[in-house]
Amino acid sequence: MHKDIPLVFHPIYSQLDLPVRHRFPIDKYQGIHDALCRHGVDARTFVTPEPVAKDILLNHYDSHYVETLLAGTLDSKAMRRIGFPWSDQLIKRSLTAIGGTIKTAELALLNGMALNLTGGYHHAAADWGSGFCLFNDLYLAAKHMLGQPGIDSVLIVDLDVHQGDGTALLAQDDSAIITLSLHGEKNFPHRKQQSDMDFPLPKGMTDDAYLAVLDEALSLISRVYVPDAVIYDAGVDIHENDDLGLLSVSTDGVYQRDSMVLDWCRQRGLPVACVIGGGYQRDIDALVSVHLQLYRAAGVID
């Protein structure tokens, strides 16, 4: 086990009262934390993030959207698109989770790798939220990395089953942020955006075919781009038992995918900040066990 890989976590990640049977598995973040502790991760490994400052949001996102969402005055149609009922707790939780991804990016530059126990809010754009995403943490983390010495280009590897449409839109005119997405062709969002590299995947895809596409994507990046740092969205909604995924990748396939990405970064000496992305099995224990593959691949647990 690598005891020097920082893990970013706050209990607020799982603290949000949602309507009964709400689709979002809010308990999974605490579940991942507790499972890591049971696997022998020292409590001192966890870093507690601060909420992202409002000024940072205003620097990068539409001011009307930021102000109205934070104040609870965003119109009901826009809130429905986000998919959560508005509450003070929703805002606190979201700002802390986003602060967590930015902290993870910072720690990755210092340590070579860091992992957030939430993150991957890739459906949010400059002036709207969508699909359980209020503000896009991947974009903010990339911008934070680009503000550090020696970081001129950041690659966002998004392997959540749903295309990171918000990230693609935010970064479309920013040559310093490279966006790669492998996603279900016939899955949410209905209207796809253009990443720098998109690999649409057919329904029911299994391990070998998925890993072959990923290998092709990483080979292409190596030929075309020279990033200085990586942000990795390790969504597990590609899993065969996921309620919203439509792909058929096994738990071992998820582990192999995560290992492939992290090994690719290690071989090139690239710092990598990881977020856990989506995963929508209703059985939280089963869902946590799939998310744990990232921490296995990283060497945080055996």
Residue by residue, pLDDT tens for the chain (302 residues) are: 566 899 999 999 999 999 998 999 999 999 999 999 999 999 999 999 999 999 999 999 999 999 999 999 999 999 999 999 999 999 999 999 999 999 999 999 999 999 999 999 999 999 999 999 999 999 999 999 999 999 999 999 999 999 999 999 999 999 999 999 999 999 999 999 999 999 999 999 999 999 999 999 999 999 999 999 999 999 999 999 999 999 999 999 999 999 999 999 999 999 999 999 999 999 999 999 999 999 999 999 99
Query: pLDDT value at position 266?
Result: 97
Count CA within 13 A, CB hemisphere, residue 297: 30
pLDDT for residue 2: 60
What pLDDT shows up at residue 3?
A: 60
The per-residue pLDDT for 1 is 54
Residue positions annotated with a catalytic role: 123
Which conformational region is residue 141 in: left (phi greater than 0), alpha (psi within -120 to 50 degrees), or beta? alpha
Strands 197-201 and 154-158: unpaired
pLDDT of residue 4: 85
- Residues contacting 118, CB < 8 A, separation 6+: 9, 13, 29, 97, 100, 101, 275, 276
- Locate 104 and state its tokens: 């993870």
